Amino acid sequence: MGAVAINNERNGAYAVVAITKHGVEIARRLGGALVGADVYYTEKFARGDEAEHGIRLFSGNVKTLLPELFARYDGLICIISLGAVVRMIAPLLKDKKTDPAVVVIDDKGEHVISVLSGHLGGANELTRRVAAILGARPVITTASDVQQTIAVDLFGREFGWEWESDDNLTPVSAAVVNEEPVAIVQESGEPNWWPAGRPLPKNITVYGSIAEALAARPTAALVVTHRLLAPEEEAILQNGVLYRPKVIALGIGCNRGTSADEIEAVIHETLNELRFSMKSVKAVCTIDLKKDEQGLLEVVNKYRWELVAYTPEELNTVPIEAPSETVFRYTGAYGVSEPAAKLYSGADRMALVKKKSGNVTISVALIDHRRRKESEPCDGLSSLRQEAVPAKRL
């Protein structure tokens, strides 16, 4: 007989799987302490209270259960011997960017081992969490963790930074862990990517500009910017990774019924003119009258951007360069795109004050995290102001 409980709906992010008496004890502990854990164990060790605790029972060989769990969960926590787990998951492996985290715990709960997808899949962090719950020893073997240096594939991930390309992740990671000269250039984004109080590894140097980094001739580079690089700057990426921080706030106003295609085209055109990356957009900001505008909703959903809508009263609290009586008559606000972008970003000066294109009006502001306090949310109501590049009119 195969597994009998797999048709149950997944509730959490992790599947905890046990097949022994001691493993069941550990699995039950984790089920009660690890947020997002669904527990599976063999019906041979059923206690009678599994339904009450949301525990799934299975019968037969765990090998028939594991492929389904591998496909459905973000992480598997297996209280099974390491060798057995390796043999069972080997045929299931596809790609490190999509494979789930796999963590193995020994039958006494003394060691928690990160087995698969340590960085991108989150197995290393999951290993630490599980070990802390059990009072066990976490076993993590990835070089960047062991050496306490930068994990290139996770750099800025907690802030939502995106790679422009993953082509150089492996050689750049090799340069970092092999203690070769590595340059970091950060033009925008959150500055607190390295633990406070711990010095950077000696082989890693932060430079003030791409030109300065190129002059130093590092083996590899990490570049954090919202800009599209100029041709003379692209040499830094020969063995470099380009990260896109989420720092662009788009203020958008549009006529009722404006299509998603038109809104998206204006955004593309405007950011290209500014030499900004679409991947660095964090939010689209507008007036609450437009919060249900279908075209706008389609665009933000497509790119998974945040949509922030302000009341006319909130928009009118912001000084703007071109107040409009016409806009006020129709909306109750003297402007939409400019004050909305300013509210969200906290910017005094704009990258783009305002541009009218067909049925769309767009403004662009940059969030300067270097001057934003950690405790202040990016909710558009901050009194914090930034120094920015002179605003353009397109």
Looking up residue 342, the CATH number of its domain turns out to be 3.30.420.180
Task: For residues 189 and 275, state if they share a domain.
Answer: no
Residue 311: which domain range?
248-371
Task: For residues 130 and 191, state if they share a domain.
Answer: no
Tell me the pLDDT tens digit for each residue of 259-296. Answer: 999 999 999 999 999 999 999 999 999 999 999 999 99
Ramachandran category for residue 183: left, alpha or beta (phi over 0 → left; psi -120 to 50 → alpha): beta
Tell me the pLDDT tens digit for each residue of 323-350. Answer: 888 888 888 998 999 999 999 999 888 9
Tell me the pLDDT tens digit for each residue of 195-242. Answer: 888 899 999 999 999 999 999 999 999 999 999 999 999 999 999 999
| Last residue in a domain, options 179, 209, 244 | 244
HSE value, Cβ hemisphere, 13 Å, CA-based, for 110: 3
Rounded Cα gap, residues 179 and 201, in angstroms = 8
96, pLDDT greater than 80: no
Asked whether residue 185 is domain-assigned, the answer is: yes
Task: For residues 211 and 267, state if they share a domain.
Answer: no
384, pLDDT greater than 50: no
Task: For residues 231 and 279, state if they share a domain.
Answer: no
**3-state secondary structure (DSSP) of residue 134:** helix
Task: For residues 160 and 127, state if they share a domain.
Answer: no
- The helix or strand, by DSSP H or E, that contains position 41, with its residue range, turns out to be strand 37-42
User: Are 104 and 116 a contacting pair, CB within 8 Å?
Assistant: no
Question: What are φ and ψ of residue 231, in 5° steps?
Answer: -55, -40
Looking at residue 97, its pLDDT comes to 75
Asked whether residue 379 is domain-assigned, the answer is: no
Number of domains in the chain: 3
Query: Mean of the pLDDT values across residues 163-184?
Result: 92
Rounded Cα gap, residues 272 and 16, in angstroms = 47
Tell me the pLDDT tens digit for each residue of 32-83. Answer: 899 999 999 999 999 989 998 999 999 889 988 999 999 999 999 999 999 9
Task: For residues 222 and 270, state if they share a domain.
Answer: no
Q: Indicate the average pLDDT of the chain.
A: 87
End-to-end CA distance of the chain: 68
The beta strands (E) that lie in 288-330 are given as 306-310
**pTM beyond 0.75, yes or no:** no
HSE value, Cβ hemisphere, 13 Å, CA-based, for 314: 21
Task: For residues 135 and 162, state if they share a domain.
Answer: no
Tell me the pLDDT tens digit for each residue of 178-194. Answer: 999 999 999 999 999 98
- The helix or strand, by DSSP H or E, that contains position 357, with its residue range, turns out to be strand 352-357
